[in-house]
Structure 1
Amino acid sequence: MTFIAKTFYDLRATTLEGDSIDFNVFRGRVVLIENVLQNRYPHRLVVLGFPCNQFGYQENCTNGEILNCLKHVRPGGGYDPGFTIFEKCDVNGANTHPVFSYLKDKLPYPEDDPVSLIQDPKFLVWSPISRNDISWNFEKFLIAPEGEPVKRYSRKFETIAIEPDIQRLLRLTKN
């Protein structure tokens, strides 16, 4: 059985640079977790990127190659992410990273698409398969300042459309 953290702040993950980050550092801040993002955000919003190769093997770079790939290939043009990118991990199956075990336990399906799961079985490259699995890259999880996951968005939900939810949570963090 997969360990599921009791709170978001019990979690930790390792960045591409090899630094282990204790999620307690994000207390009191709004957190958005997604595979890839290309925007910069205010200080009170933390964006965390977790590459994954479980969806059509689209992230086949090694951890050491990911930043160079972003900079020179996809999206390229000297792109430098303005957010923390963690080591590539599994988000589904027997080796699910604890961050995603926790998030999927708290938010079992995307609010905007509660029924979709991968339709083509050749893309189901993990086991066991569960209904709360992440169905493809770019699913997003929004975490409130007190560490409670508040929304899960499908891959089809554009990141820019999350802004009203982010703004609402940011207003809650003002003293």
Structure 2
Amino acid sequence: MPEKTDTCPRDTIKPNTVCAATLMTFIAKTFYDLKATTLEGDMVDFNVFRGRVVLIENVASELNELQRRYPHRLVVLGFPCNQFGYQENCSNGEILNSLQHVRPGGGFQPNFTMFEKCDVNGTNTHPVFAYLKDKLPYPDDDPNSLVQDPKFLVWSPISRTDISWNFEKFLIGPEGEPFKRYSKKFPTIDVEPDIQRLLRLTKT
């Protein structure tokens, strides 16, 4: 059983140690128990994703290409977050306009489901990311990095499982099993071989 601590300074987190605050965070039992609200205000029950591979990311333009290549068997979900350099410092109603004209710009329009802006770290972590971080505590390609500059640590408590910056990715298998987490440095398009691997496991 992991040892509990009341606080979790980033430099003193030991293996098998969990913040007490983290233990109070609600963690869904399965991926299909999760729900989230789209930018349009519609609640999505993740049960609708049964039997399909799911890729979740805080948004990148390469998501469009992957969704285009696998329109029926892959579900791409984008979650804007303002915890990293305040790069999403706009209202939910302005996010699509920002994507189109600012970042990534160039008339970008997502062809995947976009959800409301949410926290991915700290006290108000969205249940989707609380679940994903519990199941996949660190990126497969970069298990050691966390936010390097203390001024960017704008949430509390700090946990070793925290998402370090925009563009971390989570891939979910067709039976709802969290498969792999990828760092911000891992190009989104390079997730495709793992998507293909999981698609071979699907029944349809």
Shorter-chain TM band:
over 0.9
Q: Give % identity.
A: 84
State the 1:34 CA deviation: 0.4
Q: Report the counterpart of residue 111 of structure 2 in structure 1.
A: 82
Give the Cα separation in 2 of the matches to 1:158 and 1:47: 15
CA contact (8 A) 1:2 1:101 kept: yes
Unaligned runs of 5+ in 1: none
Secondary structure of the structure 1 residue equivalent to 2:96? helix
Alignment pair present for 1:100 and 2:129: yes
Amino acid at match of 2:182: Y
Which one has the largest radius of gyration? 2
Q: Quick one: distance in 1 between partners of 2:199 and 2:76?
A: 13
SS of aligned partner of 1:127: coil
Match of 2:150 among 103, 106, 121: 121
Compute the TM-score of the two structures, normalised by the length of structure 2: 0.84
Q: Which residue of 1 aligns with 2:44?
A: 21
Runs of 4+ residues over 6 Å off in structure 1: none
Work out the CA distance in 2 between the residues paired with 1:117 and 1:69. 27
Equivalenced residues, count: 175
How far the C-alpha of 1:174 sits from its partner, in A, is 4.1
Q: Which is worse superposed, 84-93 or 32-41?
A: 32-41
Q: Deviations over 1:9-54 (max 9, x none)?
A: 0000000000000000000000000011322421100000000000
Q: Structure 1 stretch 119-128 or stretch 165-174: which is displaced more?
A: 165-174
The whole-number CA distance in structure 2 between the counterparts of 1:6 and 1:150 is 16
TM-score using structure 1 length = 0.97
Aligned-residue CA RMSD (Å): 0.9
Question: Residue 48 of structure 1 corresponds to which residue in structure 2?
Answer: 77
* C-alpha distance in 2 between matches for 1:122 and 1:29: 39
**1:25-174 equivalent positions in 2, closer than 5 A:** 25-38=48-61, 39-40=64-65, 41=67, 42=70, 43-174=72-203
* Contact persistence 1:37–1:81 (CA under 8 A): no
Distance (whole Å) between structure 2 residues aligned to residue 37 and residue 20 of structure 1: 22
Instruction: Tell whether the 8 Å contact from 1:70 to 1:76 is kept in structure 2 after alignment.
Output: yes
Q: Which runs of 5+ in 2 are unaligned?
A: 1-23
